[in-house]
Amino acid sequence: MSVSAVPATGTLYVVATPIGNLDDISARALRVLGEVSLIAAEDTRHSLRLLQHFGIATPLAACHEHNERDQGGRFLARLQAGEDVALISDAGTPLISDPGFHLVGAARAAGVRVVPVPGACALIAALSAAGLPSDRFAFEGFLPAKSVGRRARLEQVREDARTLIYYEAPHRLLESLADMRDVFGGERLAVLGRELTKTFETLQGLPLAELHDWVASDSNQQRGECVILVAGWRAPEGDDALSAEALRVLDLLLGEMPVKRAAALAAEITGVRKNLLYQAALDRQKSS
């Protein structure tokens, strides 16, 4: 028996598709989609329209969040038999708030080559045109649907210096902007990227309080797909520079010891300057 009787495994291509404008599909994506044996798609009916538009007749099979774990084995078997498979989602880059994580993980664990075919991604498109710092950013995905959970998640990154990026459904846009305004402060700059690459594309940058009111006053802004970008936290100057954590430590110590000692110990624990903490401790005593 020759060595070639053992089939080499195929390749799993993770292919980005457009987020609106069909011209955004890459030449490489079209070639790969036309050449693979099978396309694993989030919604086969949706993707069929895209493939028909480009004259691609490759068979499709469903790979969505409800069947991904169960059906993963089926795709893996085809890959292990030497066939190439492409993974696509309804729009943009698979795995980015879209299915594919389990399949890619299983393929890599099985030693199958996984190749990205990059292209459109709403968060990157929004960030590239928002004018907010892009050297460091945090993609926070979708926020919880209920306000309590949403506010708790926002609180976790209130003092994060990176640009924050959220996906949001249009019917929750206003509520989310209101919670962001309340947690991050109405002055914090934010940018709404709506219907990117489509006819009614909007990129509006305003402080959160104004952005909320602007969206509230125009129902057109409450439709379509949207990304919200929020400028990262910046430490205020002067006495206000104390973080909530430094003040929490200071308050705990003030309950146990004299002002001077509490300020010195809080400085050691938090790394904040002693003078600043001492002044804050005096202010707190005056106002209590």
Residues that bind ligand SAM (CB under 6 A): 19-20, 89, 91-93, 96-98, 121-123, 167-169, 193-198, 225-227
In terms of phi and psi (left: phi > 0; alpha: psi -120 to 50; beta: otherwise), the region of 92 is left
Nearer to ligand SAM, 22 or 235 (CB): 22
Q: Residue number with the shortest CB distance to ligand SAM?
A: 92
Nearer to ligand SAM, 99 or 232 (CB): 99
Least distance to ligand SAM from the beta carbon of 126, Å? Answer: 7
Say if CB 13 and CB 85 are below 8 A apart.
yes
Three-state DSSP class for 281? helix
Nearer to ligand SAM, 226 or 267 (CB): 226
Nearer to ligand SAM, 227 or 249 (CB): 227
Assigned token pair, 202: 């909007």
Least distance to ligand SAM from the beta carbon of 32, Å? Answer: 17
Say if CB 251 and CB 284 are below 8 A apart.
yes
Least distance to ligand SAM from the beta carbon of 172, Å? Answer: 10
Tell me how far apart the alpha carbons of residues 5 and 25 are, in angstroms, rounded to a whole number.
37
Least distance to ligand SAM from the beta carbon of 233, Å? Answer: 23
Nearer to ligand SAM, 97 or 243 (CB): 97
| CA distance readout (Å), 93 to 18, 121, 177 | 8, 5, 25
Tell me how far apart the alpha carbons of residues 175 and 173 are, in angstroms, rounded to a whole number.
6
Nearer to ligand SAM, 169 or 257 (CB): 169
Nearer to ligand SAM, 78 or 150 (CB): 150
Least distance to ligand SAM from the beta carbon of 245, Å? Answer: 31
Least distance to ligand SAM from the beta carbon of 157, Å? Answer: 18
Assigned token pair, 120: 């459109």
Tell me how far apart the alpha carbons of residues 265 and 6 are, in angstroms, rounded to a whole number.
68
Tell me how far apart the alpha carbons of residues 254 and 85 are, in angstroms, rounded to a whole number.
63
Nearer to ligand SAM, 165 or 276 (CB): 165
* 165 CB-near residues (< 8 Å, 6+ apart): 123, 126, 127, 137, 138, 139, 140, 227, 228, 229, 230
Least distance to ligand SAM from the beta carbon of 279, Å? Answer: 44
Single out the residue of 63, 68, 67 nearest to residue 47, CA to CA: 63
Least distance to ligand SAM from the beta carbon of 244, Å? Answer: 29
69-97 per-residue burial string, b: 16 or more CB within 10 A, e: under 16: eebbeebbebbbeebbbbbbbbbbbbbbe
